[in-house]
Structure 1
Amino acid sequence: MEGLKLSDAELMVYIHPSKCRNVFQAICRELSALLFQYDETFDGVLLAYDFTVESKQAKILAGLNPYFGVRINTKLLLFDPKPNSLVEGKIVKISPESIHVVVLGFSAAVITDIDIREEFKYKMRDGEGCFVSRSHKRHALKVGTMLRLQVESFDEEVLHIAGSLMPANTGCVKWLEKQSEEALHMDRDHKRRKIA
């Protein structure tokens, strides 16, 4: 999935003197406060982190409460979907006008009817709405389906994605993977025939 990136960073974490007995826990608390929020410094949403303390020495800041700064080396997992990148998520709601998806369990994505290619038609099956491909009847989008969509825009404040199903490489992930496997097998068979 595009939009995920690993980043190495050297950070200075400022800790209150009352937390000096357990510096490791204090650093974890400071970094955990940044999780699942867009941060301009990291240029993305922090999903996970791992860190090591660079040195045992700390820089003391003068002031009413003399905080001390600890240098750490971190590995950060960031989520920052750029326009035209592909992301995957689970469909949670379908209506004739839109498809609602949850990406990575925390970011909402919406695909409106103008961003759904004409190949898909809205139908009712077993009392539930779904979009079914007119050219490939097995390519169906329903609640619970893992969906690959193209990012149109990403709102950092509310972590909301506006998506599109216009490109041919978007749709049900299982169906797309099955089609690529079949194309690979056909290509192999074609090469074998040429060699024979």
Structure 2
Amino acid sequence: MFAASTQCKHWMFSNEEELNKLREAANTNHIQTYGKNIDAVAKYDFFLTPEEEKIMVKRFELHLRDFCKRFQPSMPRCVVGTAFHYFKRFYINNSVMNYHPKEIMVTCIYLACKVEEFNVSIQQFVANIKGDREKATDIILNNELLLMEQLNFHLSIHNPFRPVEGLLIDIKA
């Protein structure tokens, strides 16, 4: 089943260098689009390097984990795993300078809740967010289609949890 999945066909990479090239292309594309009139030497005074973007994404992965841990009602592991996949996939082909990681992070989590059938309404979801809940609702709903498009509508994720749980059941039996 996994071998025929979109995850295997489109989201498995042979090495980290391949991933880095895609991330660098997203970074370069942003800089070329918005830095046309800036001297080449001064560009990185105004824009993030690919390495700085990678660090920023890693930092927001920690925020994603913490948000999911604090979430009420308690969030299943498969939802957390799916949200991580969406977040990481999104920033393979997109720059953090184009889309704020905080906004994409909550959208990834909300979409993962839907896909993994963890039924929470948007009101229940944003109740877990600090700050303006109406604004958070607008951000999530406005970014949801963008996120799905950037994931090429490949929403099915094969998380490692089920096979491991099955193995543990087999070992106990």
TM-score, scaled to structure 2:
0.26
Higher helix residue share: 2
Q: Larger radius of gyration, structure 1 or 2?
A: 1
TM-score (norm 1): 0.24
Give the structure with the higher percent strand: 1
